[in-house]
Structure 1
């Protein structure tokens, strides 16, 4: 097996950040469905409105980015970004 395939620069994290309206019952339902679909695709809640998914390769990360694009709700703002495992490991997280 190629050792480069699993190094910290090939392993990726897909991050989904969103702000969805919930003024009406229909909007609430769409927001809940979007969150459920993210979880069904293996994403985990990182903090409010931010979900993360670990991917073993850039190619796999692209697959999950495409899936997110297919599940976008009609209203709201959704951003999808990928970072390397190395970048994720350099993140400073503070708890209070």
Structure 2
């Protein structure tokens, strides 16, 4: 089976009542952005990953950087599945890549 480009989607709901909770929320959000995730909507972030092995490595890093409280869910789907998202209200974000073209930097 050939490696497929996959999209890792992170859904999270973190407490932010107390100052410590807010710091944890902001730290986790900053971590996601630093990893290259793009915000799809509030508390939903996605990242294009080259294959399932890379996705597993990303998942282990997410576990290490997750706050102790709250809910964090991860869904990994193929880019082909992701491209079938239907927008009921609103428009697609042009920052999100919806194809399998690869960028090679030399």
TM-score normalised to the size of structure 2?
0.79
Count of aligned positions: 89
Quick check: 1:26 aligned with 2:17?
no
CA offsets 1:49-72 (integer angstroms, 9 cap, x no match)? 000000111111111111111111
**Offset of 1:14 from its aligned partner?**
0.4
Determine which structure has greater relative contact order: mean sequence separation of CA pairs < 8 Å that are 6+ residues apart, divided by chain length. 1
4+ runs deviating over 2 angstroms: none
**Offset of 1:93 from its aligned partner?**
2.0
Match for residue 10 of structure 2? Answer: 16
Gap runs ≥5 in structure 1: none
Match for residue 35 of structure 2? Answer: 41
TM-score normalised to the size of structure 1?
0.87
- Structure (1 or 2) with the greater helix fraction: 1
- Work out which of the residue numbers 66, 78, 89 in structure 1 matches 2:83: 89
Gap runs ≥5 in structure 2: 92-106
Instruction: Look up the SS of the partner of 1:93 in the other structure.
Output: coil
The separation in 2 between residues aligned to 1:36 and 1:90, in whole angstroms, is 28
